[in-house]
Amino acid sequence: MSDLESRPESSTGQPKLADLRVHYDLDELYESDLAATPLEQFRDWFAQAHAAEVLEPNAMVVATADAEGVPTARTVLLKQADARGFTFYTNLTSTKSRQIEANPQVTAVFGWYPLHRQVIVSGRVEPMPREEATAYFTSRPRASQIGAWASRQSTVVADRAALDDRYARLEERFADGEVPMPEFWGGWLIRPVSVEFWQGRASRLHDRLRYVTPESSASLDDADAWSIQRLSP
């Protein structure tokens, strides 16, 4: 019987949160298992998550904080992972972008729960070059391009009809040509100073191995720039 089938329920039919348990017994992680660089290790685990058909393996929760330290978090999609770091694209006037401008330190979490794994990336954020952002924007589906224009992300909208009407007007505006990238849209690059690989283990004695570097501009594929630490679970 699976965990979901056997989970305890209260008299109201709702699950008893304190009693929910998952047995982490799929894999283990030792220092000798790690690749020489965090980029290689990430690509290996990402490939395994994709092969296992984990839902949207490129989804990551990005946590930011404003100048006063008030945090927010949301899920975004990773669009590139290379020697520089991890890239995502968004509206540059959104809450996350405004917080990044005020406080460029962020953490991103990939939760590959069916594999009992997560990856935690922490570092400093910088803007992606506009030419790279433009190249990615051009590759997006046309509907998503128009959606980027239609959404004044993080601002209050009167109702769904107002949003749909704005989209319809923009669809008409760009009907006869390409959709250019808005000035208020672009990419952010997370340059990590730590990348932690977490593997669930029995008795909650999980494996946590972390690549760390003192340099925020260290290349993710330079083995000499990174050291490896084991963290208590």
Catalytic residue among 204, 208, 210, 230: 204
Neighbours of 8 (CB within 10 A): 11
For 172-213, the pLDDT digits (tens) are 999 989 999 999 999 999 999 999 999 999 999 999 999 999
Question: What whole-number distance in Å separates Cα of residue 51 and Cα of residue 72?
Answer: 31
Quick one: pLDDT at residue 8? 56
Q: Which domain range does residue 192 map to?
A: 19-139+183-230
Query: Is position 87 within any domain?
Result: yes
Is 205 part of a structural domain of the chain? yes
Q: Do the domain assignments include residue 103? A: yes
Cα separations in angstroms, 212 against 38, 177, 192, 199: 9, 47, 8, 18
Look up 204 and say whether it is catalytic: yes
The model carries a pTM of 0.91
Q: Report yes or no on 2 lying in a domain.
A: no
Q: What is the pLDDT of residue 2?
A: 41
Task: Write the pLDDT tens digit of every residue in 34-53.
Answer: 999 999 999 999 999 999 99
Residue 89 domain flag: yes
User: Position 160: which residue type?
Assistant: R
Residue 212: CATH number of its domain: 2.30.110.10
Q: Report how far apart, in Å, the C-alpha atoms of 159 and of each of 47, 104, 135, 162, 209 are.
A: 40, 32, 32, 6, 46
Alpha-carbon gap, residue 226 to 214, rounded angstroms: 8
